[in-house]
């Protein structure tokens, strides 16, 4: 999908847009309690915001200074169009520009295949978080 734009944004500048996407995906769609979703760590992370060709915010992810990617979310109607790939590539490229070489995440079990296509591999057993089965994954340095 060529009309998808990604940009690295500050939480303080785009909190409303980022929160809106995450609330729609995690809280409303997946029933994650908002107190878990909004964990107070966002101001310490880098964020990527994906927008469609008309500027509508449609996806996001964050990464901490240790290379942990999280809170990756794409609005339902935009899934399967390459948005997640663009988001993950953008946040990892930004991390690399800051010297990060090891990336890791906790993937929802249903998203493991997606992350594997992006070069991640399982690095532990399954566990439950916010009522959803997850597995830790990592990507080896280039």
For 33-57, what is each residue's pLDDT tens digit?
998 898 999 999 999 999 999 999 9
Per-residue pLDDT tens over the stretch 65-88:
999 999 999 999 999 999 999 999
Label residue 104 by pLDDT band (50, 70, 90): very high
Task: Please name every residue paired with 133 in a beta bridge, in sequence order, or none if there are none.
Answer: 128
**What token pair was written down for 91?**
């946040």
- H helices of the chain, where? 11-22, 34-37, 83-97, 112-117
Burial class (CB in 10 A: 0-12, 13-18, 19+), 122: middle
Residue 113's pLDDT is what? 95
Per-residue pLDDT tens over the stretch 5-17:
999 999 999 999 9
SS3 content of the chain, % helix, strand, coil (to 5): 35, 35, 30
Per-residue pLDDT tens over the stretch 17-35:
999 999 999 999 999 999 8
Residue 141's pLDDT is what? 66
Residue 83's pLDDT is what? 96
- Taken in order of first residue, the domains within the chain and their CATH numbers are 5-100 (3.40.630.30)
Label residue 2 by pLDDT band (50, 70, 90): low
Tell me, rounded to whole angstroms, the distance of Cα 131 from its chain centroid: 18
Tell me, rounded to whole angstroms, the distance of Cα 47 from its chain centroid: 8
Q: What's the rounded mean pLDDT across residues 85-103? A: 96
């Amino acid at each position: 999908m060529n009309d998808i734009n990604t940009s690295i944004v500050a939480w303080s500048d785009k909190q409303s847009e980022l929160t809106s996407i995450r609330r729609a995906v995690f809280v409303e769609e997946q029933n994650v309690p908002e107190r878990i979703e909004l964990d107070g760590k966002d101001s310490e992370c880098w964020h990527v915001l994906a927008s469609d060709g008309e500027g509508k915010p449609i996806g996001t992810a964050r990464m901490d200074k240790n290379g942990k990617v999280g809170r990756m979310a794409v609005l339902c109607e935009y899934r399967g169009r390459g948005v997640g790939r663009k988001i993950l590539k953008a946040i990892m490229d930004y991390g690399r520009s800051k010297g990060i070489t090891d990336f890791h995440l906790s993937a929802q079990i249903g998203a493991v295949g997606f992350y594997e296509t992006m070069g991640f591999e399982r690095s532990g057993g399954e566990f439950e978080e916010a009522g959803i089965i997850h597995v830790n994954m990592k990507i080896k340095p280039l």
